[in-house]
Structures are given as C-alpha cells and as structure tokens.
C-alpha cells in the first residue's frame, strides 16, 4: 500500500474513533442539570449545535409556559401527576348535607363506608345559607384522585371536584381529606 492509501486508512480510523467518542459522550448517564450543561462546540458541528440550542430553548420555554398555565389560583393542590390514589380506608371523607332532604349526608356516608371502604367521618349539615344547586367534592393536597373517585361513586359532576376552599361550607373540617357538599342535583327538594 502506498503512503496516500495508508493516510486515508489512518484518517478513516481517526474519524471512526471520533464518532465513537462523541456518541459515548452524548450517552453520558451521569446526573447533571440541563440548564447548566454546556454543549461542546467544534468548528465542524457549529451549525448543528446552534440549531440544537435553539430547539432546547424553545422546549424549555414551552415547558415553562405549560407549568405556569397549570398553576391554580386557589390553594395550590398537588397536581394530578403527583397525586396518588390512597387505599379507601386511609381516606377520611366528610359528607355535608347542603340540601333540605334529611339524612342525605348519612346515606352518602353509608355508601362510601359499607360499599367502598372509605373512612367516613360523622355527617354534618353545611353552613351554606342557600341550598347549592350542584354537589361538590373538595380535596386536600395530594387527594385529588381520591376525590375524583368519590365523585364518580356519588355521581357528582367532574367539573365540581375542586381543592378545599378557604371559606369552608362546614363548621369544622375534622381533618378530612375529602369533603363532599351535597346539593340539589343529587337530592332535589321534597315536595
């Protein structure tokens, strides 16, 4: 083989080694913050790096916008992705009767305890002055999935499953994780 052939072969070996080294560098599994990582820039790959940096910035801006748009105005509950479905026996549910139908809260409490296994606190009457048109299921931080499950069981509208408000519709929350406020949609007034 002549010198030019050996030079081309040697150059090919160096390119192959360079590709292997670069690919292993991109597969680095050590923990480091994306915001602090600085990509290594070579003269040959400058255009590719700039495109990647622009895409990374656009992705970070999109992620930031999504995070900001999902922040609730009321008491900040743990987002659904961080909420877990607890075993029913570990979920304290308080049922408040906001209707004019006597025993409505006790009946819902009984269904939640005997049929579903929830830890039902003694039922109470709501402190609302007017009968709510709709039933609501409120949840404490980390109990959104449990509240959604309770809402499904009792037939509450999913739009009415919210974080526990600052102005409670009961005198005492009694350390409940889920608060059910019964309205006239589930128990219409007796005639």
| Contact present, 143 and 177 (Cβ < 8 Å) | yes
Structure tokens at 7: 């030079």
pLDDT of residue 27: 53
For the stretch 76-106, pLDDT in tens is 444 444 678 999 999 999 999 999 999 999 9
Average pLDDT score, the chain: 77
For the stretch 98-115, pLDDT in tens is 999 999 999 999 999 999
Neighbours of 61 (CB within 10 A): 10
Domains of the chain: 3-69 (no CATH), 88-182 (3.30.70)
Distance CA 111, CA 116 (A): 7
Distance of CA 168 to the CA centre of its chain: 23
pLDDT of residue 90: 96
Distance CA 83, CA 14 (A): 52
Distance CA 90, CA 145 (A): 13
User: pLDDT band at 183, cuts 50/70/90?
Assistant: very high
Distance CA 116, CA 182 (A): 18
User: pLDDT band at 20, cuts 50/70/90?
Assistant: confident
179 phi, psi to nearest 5 deg: -120, 125
């Amino acid at each position: 083989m002549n010198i030019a052939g050996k030079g081309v072969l040697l150059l090919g070996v160096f390119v192959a080694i360079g590709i292997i080294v670069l690919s292993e560098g991109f597969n680095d599994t050590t923990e480091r913050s994306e915001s602090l990582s600085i990509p290594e820039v070579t003269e040959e790959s400058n255009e590719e790096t700039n495109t990647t940096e622009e895409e990374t910035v656009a992705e970070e801006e999109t992620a930031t916008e999504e995070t900001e748009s999902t922040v609730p105005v009321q008491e900040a509950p743990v987002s659904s992705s961080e909420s877990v479905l607890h075993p029913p026996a570990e979920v304290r549910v308080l049922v408040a009767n906001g209707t004019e139908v006597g025993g409505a809260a006790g009946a819902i409490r009984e269904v939640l305890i005997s049929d579903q296994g929830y830890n039902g606190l003694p039922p109470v009457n709501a402190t609302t002055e007017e009968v709510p048109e709709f039933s609501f299921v409120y949840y404490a931080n980390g109990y959104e999935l449990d509240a959604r499950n309770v809402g499904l069981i009792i037939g509450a509208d999913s739009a009415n499953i919210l974080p526990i408000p600052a102005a409670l519709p009961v005198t005492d929350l009694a350390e409940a994780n889920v608060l059910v406020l019964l309205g006239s949609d589930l128990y219409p007034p007796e005639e």
